[in-house]
Structure 1
Amino acid sequence: MGSRATKLKVLELFNSRDLAQILQGLETMAAKDVINALFALICREDPDLHWQAVTCMGLAVARLANQEMEEARIIMRRLLWSLNDESGGIGWGAPESMAEVMCCHGGLAEEYVHMLISYMREDGEEICQDGNYLEHPLLQRGLLWGVARLAACRPELLLRKGAAADIPPYLQADDGEVRGLAALACGRLGIEAAQPALKRLAADPAVFQLYSEGSFSEVSVGQLARQALEAIG
């Protein structure tokens, strides 16, 4: 099947909006072909297409890694490059896709988690400082969703890499969704230092649609902050 035919087939599967059906169809196709088609979908504005593509990207890259690890690394580098100013793009969908890949594959998680964390860190003057701070609120949403996703599936890895110090500042973000996702991550990682900020957010009325396990639910920042405080203890 050629590249164009593959993309059309993948898009046809996604038109069903049935994630189980999409995943079943993609399993019959070569992982590398699927991934190339998914790059056009993870940046879509349509929430269903975007988030289902993120889920599928994670599984497809993990499948590729089990077959050809170096090819999977190339995909991860392609996602990283899309967030680079020199790429000429914006990188929509890249942080959340990287996180989903790392949830699906432990080896890639060990290799690339520091890069995801670096997007929460300011650029430093020293050559050894690895900050690649993302300023755009919409990219921060994807980043904090990714951090919260990893906090659920690989919390010890994030804690070992020092992410607990990077998340709490986002509790003061102007964007409600960023605040809420930061609260979710703090609760999942049990970040005790975040408790004062979480208490201030306990009545925050901002609401957004949270994607988790293939479906959406409307949540408020206050709800997520209260749940985080309960989880922390």
Structure 2
Amino acid sequence: MQSVKSMQPLKYGQTDLVYRKGFFAFLCGAVLMGVLLGTIAYCCSNADFLYKLSLTQSDFIKSRAEMDHSQILTGSLTGTTIFLAAAFLCGLCPLGQPAELALLVFRGMGIGLTLSQLYGTYGRSSVPYAMGLILPGAVISTLAVVIAVREAMSLSGVYLGISLSDRAENGLAETVKLYGTKFMVLEAALAAAAGADCLCSYLFIGHFG
């Protein structure tokens, strides 16, 4: 006879590894590792590649300056929603944990590479403006993605446990519904991050000459 505990959605989260103290810091550390890797990748690139990157970054600043607020908002939200959607789909896979963790590293690499490009293209004096332009929206959206990955890892663990068990599980439908609701809330957080990105572009884009 099945226990009542297995029939209640997300009760596994109370003892699940991903909800234990320190695991959130581990996930944030994966992002920081990605930032470091992105910075190292930029520093180790050859001169020709760096030149091409500088042209790309210059076009990014120029295009940002020419965009209206709705275009910036839509572009920023679309870019971060891709990570959220990827985490959501990985969470439905019993062996999705490695891919979920890789999402965080890849997200960090993008941030590190972007900041390094801005520094290499516009010099040391641009660092405060680059941080003001990139970091507020990036921090909010990255925290949302970290939470999404934590939830995805938890659900992947549930699916893995079901796959390795010969027992039928009740309450899985409710668990998945709650999982989807959490991701809808995280999408709202990404919308707020996109709004911050739009505001920061308005405040700081004019400082890049």
Query: Which structure has the greater CA radius of gyration?
Result: 2
Return the TM-score normalized by structure 1: 0.24
Return the TM-score normalized by structure 2: 0.26
Instruction: Specify which structure has the higher proportion of strand.
Output: 1
